[in-house]
Amino acid sequence: MIEAIIFDMDGIIIDSEPLWKKAIINVMKQVGFNFTIDMCNRTKGMRVDEVIKYWKTELNADFDSNKLSKDIVEEVIYLIKKEGEAIEGLEKVLKKAKSNNLKIALASSSPSLIINVVLKKLNIIDYFDVVQSAEKEDFGKPHPGVFITTAKKLNVSPVKCLVIEDSLNGVIAGKSAKMKVVAMPEKEEKQLNKFVIADSIVNKLTEIRF
């Protein structure tokens, strides 16, 4: 029986995945690299520092990783404040979870700075029993650390947790933590066969059964 629901944030709580991609493309262009959406998708779900580390190696680049990470975070915050909107059906699902006496948590690869901006903008902080950023873990997703830590803080066994994720890295992390996982991929990723590792795949939040 499920005792807790753990939400990813980007793409699950707020429609921010396109904003992350826009921010990465904008900032990378400033240091001389023309990024594409497909390139952004390769690191989707990872922490921003790990994204920068990945591309610094792939591109054999010499940019300042700390500055680039900071610039991307600042750009994402700007875009969220300007354009960010809640995912359709979010409040309905949160209310249903509360009415079913389930514990609710957020476990995101985004830094706490961005998480706080999102929760404030959407005015949903009171729904969550635990809010956890992977920036506090040794490794980000697809490592299961952030989900395991979240379960411990909820005082719920991982096998009694349901994770809602939109990225393959997030799905892998949830399954590695021994949790049930519902995948809600972006439209362009819905046909990826790799998402079959999730326990179920939905098109929108209100399709989730718990």
Contact 173, 149 (CB under 8 A): no
Q: Is 10 a catalytic residue?
A: yes
- Judge if 70 and 123 occupy the same domain: no
- Judge if 65 and 96 occupy the same domain: no
What confidence score (pLDDT) does residue 45 get?
A: 85
CA–CA distance, 102 with 105 (Å, rounded to integer)? 10
CATH number reported for the structural domain that contains residue 191 in this entry: 3.40.50.1000
Question: How many domains is the chain partitioned into structurally?
Answer: 2
Backbone angles phi, psi at 35, to 5 degrees: -90, 155
Question: Which residues constitute the domain of residue 58?
Answer: 17-83
Q: What percent of the chain has pLDDT over 90?
A: 89
- Judge if 59 and 156 occupy the same domain: no
CATH number reported for the structural domain that contains residue 71 in this entry: 1.10.150
49, two tokens: 């520092």
3-state secondary structure 19-77: HHHHHHHHHHHHCCCCCCHHHHHHCCCCCHHHHHHHHHHHCCCCCCHHHHHHHHHHHHH
pLDDT higher than threshold 80 for residue 202: yes
- Which residues make Cβ contacts (< 8 Å) with residue 83, sequence separation at least 6? 19
- Judge if 9 and 92 occupy the same domain: yes
Catalytic residue among 10, 49, 71, 166: 10
- Judge if 125 and 35 occupy the same domain: no
- Judge if 126 and 60 occupy the same domain: no
Mean residue pLDDT across the chain: 94
- Judge if 50 and 121 occupy the same domain: no
What confidence score (pLDDT) does residue 190 get?
A: 66
